[in-house]
A = this chain, B = another copy of it.
Amino acid sequence: MTGNTRPLRADARRNRAKVLQTAYEVFAAEGLAVPIDEIARRAGVGAGTVYRHFPTKEALYQAIVVDRVEHLVGQARELAATADPGEAFFGFFDLMTSAGATDKGLVDALAGEGFDIEAVMPEHEQAFKDAMRDLLVRAQAVGAVRADVTVADVKTLMVGCQAMQRYGGDAAPERVLEVVREGLRPAR
């Protein structure tokens, strides 16, 4: 099925890692608009080398986003296992929103066009939704989150909060997020 890939040569493995690492940092700091040549330059390789490892620019940042999402799913599961449901849910909410403040590339990828998560990595999207649903229903069960919001609603709110973090102007980020968190709590 998926063609038998043989093991990479040592230099190839090194370069691939260097490209991934550099791309991760540069995309996070400056967004997805950074040219491939720039990433190659900073990684100390030629543009051709980047393209041998990742057939297109999209493939490169998809690899990065997939990694990032997997990591976030792991954190979501940890939170679900350890803390109380309300803290777990809002802890994850904070993780997601601060990811938006840190990582421009992630926001570009999640919000911008040219990236349909469902199409590209359906299993990761599913895992993400499952982990979120788990956090959400538990939090709703103990009355920490209003009962009528869905997983999709929460996802959308998170994307919106990431946008606020990134394009926020001179608003106080913490106060703005507090407003949204408060809105997620049940009416008192």
Q: Are the C-beta atoms of A157 and B164 separated by less than 8 Å?
A: yes
Chain B residues within 8 Å of A52, by CB: none
- Helix, strand, loop or mixed for chain A's interface? helix
Find chain B residues with CB under 8 A from A149 CB: 175, 179
The CA-CA distance from A33 to B83 in the complex, in Å, is: 45
A21 at the interface (CB under 8 A from B): no
Distance in angstroms between the alpha carbons of A178 and B150 in the assembled complex: 13
A111 touches B169 (CB 8 A): no
Total chain A interface residues with beta-carbon distance under 8 A = 34
Contact, CB under 8 Å: A167 / B176: no
Q: Which residue of chain B has its CB nearest to the CB of A166?
A: B111
Are B164 and A160 closer than 8 Å at their CB atoms?
yes
Q: Which residue of B lies closest to A163 (CB)?
A: B163
Bound-complex Cα distance A175 to B154 (A)? 10
Q: A160-B164, A179-B183 are in contact. List 8 more A-B contacts (CB 8 A).
A: A110-B167, A152-B169, A152-B172, A153-B176, A155-B169, A160-B161, A181-B183, A183-B184
